[in-house]
Each structure stands twice: as structure tokens, then as C-alpha cells.
Amino acid sequence: MIRQEIVGILRSHLMEFGYEYDFVVEIPEEQFGDFSTNIALVGAKYFKKPPKEIAKDFVEKFSGHRMFKEVTIAGPGFINFKVSNEFYRDFLTKFIQNPYSVWNFKRHGSILMEYGSANPTGPLTVGHGRQVVIGDVLGNVFKFTGWEVTKEMYLNDAGRQIRLLAKSVWARYNQLLGYDEPIPEDGYNGEYVVDIARHVIADHNDEYFKIWNDDVESVFKSYALNEISRMFDTTLEKIGANFDNVFKESSLVNDGTVKEVLTILESKGLVYEEDGALWFRASRFVNDNDKVLIKNDGSYTYFLTDIAYHYKKYKRGYNIAVDIFGSDHHGHLPRMYAAMKALDIPEDFLMFVLHQFVTLKRGDEIVKMSTRAGEFVTLDELIDEVGKDAARYFFAMVDVNTHLNFDLELAKSKTDENPVFYVQYAHARISSLFENAKAKGINFIPRENIELLENESEMRIIKQISLFDEILERVTEKLSPHYLADYLEKLASLFHKYYAENKIVDTDNMRLSNARLNLAFAVRRVLSEGLNLIGISALERM
């Protein structure tokens, strides 16, 4: 917020000088000030003057400006700003009165977030967990910053994999009834497959023993789907993922969207037949090979239904669609962009977040997760072991592009090795301050005595508070939630330090106590908003 103001002022001064070019206002190392700009350095080639002289011209314009305590030139020509205490105190007062008056969120459009999409053929994995948390947090932040958000999960209930699962369940069903039917090749081996078979037996006894046809397949398919959906729901609830909608692949076939898309592509001459299959001319739009839409056995590829899904997303009126996948799906991107172009859907409609993989560790030991052998650690087990808060925090705390090393021992530990509690503790600490104040007969009055705040650490904290909206914007621009976690840790750290150095509740100095409680109050507000967005609990007491 403050940064935007500085940018604005600088830009208008730049225009007065008769120039227009890009520059940055950033937060430098503390010794240099609160904010800093390279406007004079970048301007050298336009002004045709040395950066330091240009800087001087700018600095003159700032003399006597109420917002700043100091504007100086340093190094090769940086202009450094030190914001006045008065300005910070005004900011704090406004913030406490109504945070939304200082949070600079515009009204944005509508956005459809798709994530956690999985074949309903087995339990959600740890990898899905990362994806779900990234999606959930991004969705929360988008909503908070003024977007209309729909969080959606796509269920691939129409393809070959779900049929394989049905057949696998049927094989287990026969085995349970005493016939040694082998699991199909590429089938599913996990224990949950046996559980589903048990359900079928409970309801139908040996009705389908050694009988396999299309009708039987659809029976087993629906048992499998129901069971797996229930498993998904349980797990998703445990990790606190709030989907607005589950979208079934099969609905695109049933409501004719797939056909509609095929018709459009055909009418544009973008499909052709070869080897008994129907192909899409992806190579016309992107640097990739053509792709199959309909296989030679007449069934649809995942690609075709996914095109239909995205066509439908666009038709549903969203401004932007964000898809979150594991990085193993990056091969899917070019063909999707090609399809969007083919359907005349604007280029900036579809955005992807590809997150890197998760490695589970127990101390130094890597935990093997092999899906085929059915010996994976499921997301469910992970949450049971480390808890929702730790799981979410760990998934949200690193850049989506960074391979995540998830240390189970660390996530579980209740010691200060664990970064999860740091922020929560700051929140709990402040809550206890207020209890303490109350017990000592200090009656907290919002916005009173703020003029008594004057030391460096107090100003640092207010500055950090003032950066909240900008950090959230960054989360949505860069599509990575880790900026928020970093921010909250920094704020918590500043507060812990402040707490250690200053007595906040002090009956010998009631007015100062009230001033400091105001500051603590604002910190707690930001912490709880931030923790909320990440989806972990803001505790009153620890």
C-alpha cells in the first residue's frame, strides 16, 4: 500500500521531467531505509546524466513531504526512503478502525480453480495433498483479494482406469469367494480394492461370481466410485479442503459437450482420421505432435474430455481458469493451449500451476511410495500422523517449483525445530497478553494512545503489517502460497523480538500499555487472517 503510493509519486515526478520508463520500488536491507528505488539508475540513459544527479533532482521534490522522515541518495544512485513515524501511526490507527480501508484490493473477475483432480482409482496420495493445499490456499487468497472463486475437483470417472479398477475389484470379489481370478494386467492391487469387493459381497453375495459382462462392469464401477468418493471426502475433510464443486468427466459425455467440441473442431478442419483413430491437429498451433481424440476402439481419450471440460469452463462464464497439476503433467500443457486456440478461447483464459514432487522423509531415511505395489503412504495416513496444521503448513511453505522434502519427524515434533508452531505461538501469545491485561484491570481502548508508539521495533512491526495486502497480491500473481508463510513468519518473528525487549502490559504505565496493546491487536488480526488463509488454526492458547 505504502509502496504503491511511492510508485505513484515517483511516476508523476517522472512525467514532470518529461520521461516515462519502468523502475522498481523495493524493500532494501534495513540499514538503507524502508523503501528504495532504482529510478535514477535506470534513468541514466534517458536523462543522459549520471544517476546521482538525477537522484538529486528527485530528492528535492520530496523535501518536506509528510510521509517521509528522510529521503537520501546512496550507493551508485539509489534513492532511499525512510517513512515517518507519524505516517506509520496513522496507518495503524486506520488499520485498527477498519483493515479493509487500508487493504488495497480491487474487485476482480471470476476464477475457476481446478485441483486435486484424480483418478478415482485409489486413495489420495501425498502428492495430491500438496496439490490440494496449494489450490485451497490460492483459492482462499484469490477470494480474499477480490476474486469470485469456485474451487472445483474434476473426477475422471469415464476412462479406462476406472474400468480397470472395476475389473480389479471383480477379481478380488472372485478371490474372496474362493476362485483364483487374477488381477488384470495394469490393474490395482491395494488393500482398498479388497474392501470394495467385500462391500459387493455384503450386498449381492455371489450374484456375479465368475460372471463378467457390461452390466456387471457397471455394477462394480459404481461400487468402486462410491467407495473411492467416500474415501476422498473423508481425506479432504481431514485436510480442510473446501471444494465448492465436484465435476464429473462422465457428465461431459452425457450432456453432449464432447460432441459439441468435436463438431466445432471438425467444422474448422482441425481433425483427421488415421489408423482408425481421430486426431487433433495440435501441430498447427504449438510445437508438438498431433494428438488422438478418439481411439480406434471408439473410446475417448482423456485429452478430448479435458478439452470439453475447459470449453465448458469458458462457457460457464469464468474469466480465468487455473489448473493445478503435478509437474509430471507438463506434457499436457502445449496441447491444451493448442485446443484453447482452436476453440477461439482467449489466450489468457487458462493458467497452469505445476508443482514439483514430494519426497517423504523420516529423519534421513526416504520413505518409499510406490503406487503399483500398493505400498504408498496415503494422504490420509500422513494427516493422521502429523496433523492437519503441520501438513498444510509444510505443503504451503515452499515455492511450488521447489521439490518438497517432507520430514515426518520434523512435522510431528512438538519442539522448536518445527516451524509450524512459531506463527501460532505468536498469535497465542498475544491472546494471552489481552487476558493478562484484563486480569490486571487494564481496559483496552482501541486507537487510543497510539502516539506513544515510537521505537524502532514498533515502526518495523507496523511496516510489516502494512505489507500484508501486497504480499497477498504477490501470492496470486506468482501463483505460489509460500510468500504468505514467509510473511507470517517474519511478522511473528518481529513480534516475538518486540515482546522479549518491551514490557507490553505494565500497570505502572497504563497509557503506554494501551498503545502497545493496540499494536499487538493489529498483529494478531493479521496473523489470524493469514493463518486462516493457509487453513491452519489460530490458537488462543498453546
Partner RNA sequence: GCGGCUGUAGCUCAAUAGGAUAGAGCAUCGGACUUCUAAUCCGAGGGUUGUGGGUUCGAGUCCCGCCAGCCGCGCCA
For RNA, the binding residues in 432-461 under the rule CB under 7 A are 432-433, 436
Q: Is 382 helix (H, G, I), strand (E, B) or coil?
A: helix
Among 50, 75, 109, 346, indicate the residue that binds RNA (CB under 7 A).
75
Which residue, 52 or 447, is less far from RNA as judged by CB? Answer: 52
Which residue, 195 or 417, is less far from RNA as judged by CB? Answer: 417
Q: Can you tell me the distance from the alpha carbon of 198 to that of 308, in angstroms, rounded to the nearest whole number? A: 36
Per-position x/- string for 288-317, each x denoting binding to RNA as judged by CB under 7 A, each - no binding: ---xx--xxx---xxx--------------
Q: Can you tell me the distance from the alpha carbon of 135 to that of 114, in angstroms, rounded to the nearest whole number? A: 8
Site size with RNA, rule: CB under 7 A: 88
Looking at 13-21, 103-111, 171-179, 353-361, which segment touches RNA (CB under 7 A)?
Answer: 353-361
Neighbour count for residue 370 (Cβ, 10 Å): 8
List, in sequence order, every residue forming a beta bridge with 82; answer none if it has no partner: 70
Neighbour count for residue 50 (Cβ, 10 Å): 13
Q: Quick check: 129 and 379 in contact, CB under 8 A?
A: yes
Which residue, 75 or 446, is less far from RNA as judged by CB? Answer: 75
Taking the complex as a whole, how short is the minimal distance between the CB of residue 338 and RNA, in angstroms? 13
Neighbour count for residue 154 (Cβ, 10 Å): 20
Among 2, 6, 10, 41, indicate the residue that binds RNA (CB under 7 A).
41
Taking the complex as a whole, how short is the minimal distance between the CB of residue 226 and RNA, in angstroms? 18
Taking the complex as a whole, how short is the minimal distance between the CB of residue 89 and RNA, in angstroms? 21
List, in sequence order, every residue forming a beta bridge with 273; answer none if it has no partner: 278
Taking the complex as a whole, how short is the minimal distance between the CB of residue 88 and RNA, in angstroms? 18
Q: Is 289 helix (H, G, I), strand (E, B) or coil?
A: coil
Per-position x/- string for 143-182, each x denoting binding to RNA as judged by CB under 7 A, each - no binding: -------------x--xxx---------------------
Burial of 191 (0-12, 13-18, 19+ CB in 10 A): exposed
Residues 8-37, interacting with RNA (CB under 7 A):
22, 24, 26-29, 31-33, 36
Taking the complex as a whole, how short is the minimal distance between the CB of residue 247 and RNA, in angstroms? 13
Looking at 63-71, 190-198, 219-227, 499-507, which segment touches RNA (CB under 7 A)?
Answer: 499-507
Which residue, 43 or 139, is less far from RNA as judged by CB? Answer: 43
Which residue, 98 or 370, is less far from RNA as judged by CB? Answer: 370
Taking the complex as a whole, how short is the minimal distance between the CB of residue 471 and RNA, in angstroms? 9
Cell for 94? Answer: 486506520
Torsion-angle region of 84 (φ positive above 0: left; ψ -120 to 50: alpha; else: beta): beta
Q: Can you tell me the distance from the alpha carbon of 358 to that of 262, in angstroms, rounded to the nearest whole number? A: 37
Q: Can you tell me the distance from the alpha carbon of 333 to that of 351, in angstroms, rounded to the nearest whole number? A: 9
Taking the complex as a whole, how short is the minimal distance between the CB of residue 277 and RNA, in angstroms? 4
Residues 182-241, interacting with RNA (CB under 7 A):
none
Taking the complex as a whole, how short is the minimal distance between the CB of residue 261 and RNA, in angstroms? 16
Per-position x/- string for 395-434, each x denoting binding to RNA as judged by CB under 7 A, each - no binding: --xxx-xxxxx-x------xxxxxx-xx--x--xx-xxx-
Cα separations in angstroms, 90 against 82, 447, 459? 15, 10, 11
Torsion-angle region of 344 (φ positive above 0: left; ψ -120 to 50: alpha; else: beta): left
Q: Can you tell me the distance from the alpha carbon of 46 to that of 39, in angstroms, rounded to the nearest whole number? A: 11
Phi, psi of 144 (to 5 degrees): -60, -35
User: Does residue 510 belong to the site contacting RNA (CB under 7 A)?
Assistant: no
Q: Can you tell me the distance from the alpha carbon of 535 to that of 392, in angstroms, rounded to the nearest whole number? A: 7
Among 331, 441, 443, 508, indicate the residue that binds RNA (CB under 7 A).
331
Eight-state DSSP code of residue 378 = B
Taking the complex as a whole, how short is the minimal distance between the CB of residue 308 and RNA, in angstroms? 13
Among 506, 512, 529, 537, indicate the residue that binds RNA (CB under 7 A).
506
- Give CA 310 to chain center in angstroms: 20
Q: Can you tell me the distance from the alpha carbon of 419 to that of 371, in angstroms, rounded to the nearest whole number? A: 30
User: Does residue 337 belong to the site contacting RNA (CB under 7 A)?
Assistant: no
User: Does residue 528 belong to the site contacting RNA (CB under 7 A)?
Assistant: no
Residue where the block lists cell 505461538: 425
Residues 111-150, interacting with RNA (CB under 7 A):
119
User: Does residue 253 belong to the site contacting RNA (CB under 7 A)?
Assistant: no
